[in-house]
Amino acid sequence: MKPRRATQGPIKRKRPPKVKLSAEAKSLLKVWRKNAQAAYETDLNEAWDLIDATAVKIAERHSKSLQRVKFALHMGCGKATRSSQNKSNVWNTFLWKESDGGTAG
C-alpha cells in the first residue's frame, strides 16, 4: 500500500522568462499606458456627465428634486430591482458622495 500524503501543497507554476526592455521600449510603453489611462478617464467622465444630464432631465420632467432622482438611480429604484432591496455599503456611499462633488467624512 502506498503511503498517503498529509497535505497536497501548492501547485508550482513556471514563471514566464523575464524580458529586459530597452529604454526606448520602456518610454513607448509608458506613453501607451498614459494614453490608455487618459482615454479611460475621459470615457468615465463622459459617462458621468451623461448620467448627470439624464438625472436633471428626469427631475425636471417629473417635478422631483435632483437629490431624489440621484438617490433613486443610485439605489436602483426601478422596475427591475423592486423585488429585492439593495443596501449600499460605506465604500459605495463614499464614491457616490465624491462623484457628487461633496466631501465625505
Q: Could you list the pLDDT tens digit for every one of the 105 residues in the chain?
A: 666 656 666 777 888 888 899 999 999 999 999 999 999 999 999 999 999 999 999 999 999 999 999 888 887 666 655 555 566 678 888 888 888 775 545
Q: What pLDDT does residue 49 have? A: 93
Structural domain harbouring 32: 24-99
Answer left, alpha or beta for residue 76, where phi above 0 means left and psi between -120 and 50 means alpha. Answer: left
Quick one: which of 102, 98, 74, 78 has its CA closest to 87? 74
Which grid cell is 75? 439605489
Instruction: Name the pTM for this structure.
Output: 0.51
Q: What pLDDT does residue 33 have? A: 97
Residue 1 resides in a domain: no
Residue 11 resides in a domain: no
13: DSSP letter: -
CB 100 within 8 A of CB 74: no
Give the count of domains, the chain.
Answer: 1
Residue 53 resides in a domain: yes
Rounded to the nearest integer, the mean pLDDT of the chain is: 82
Q: What pLDDT does residue 60 have? A: 95
Residue 76 resides in a domain: yes
Q: What pLDDT does residue 83 have? A: 55
CB proximity list for 72: less than 8 A, separation 6 or greater: 78
Residue 43 resides in a domain: yes
Residue 78 resides in a domain: yes
Number of CB atoms found within 10 A of residue 94's CB: 13
101: DSSP letter: T
- Going from the C-alpha of 42 to that of each of 45, 48, 51, 90, the distances in angstroms are 5, 10, 14, 26
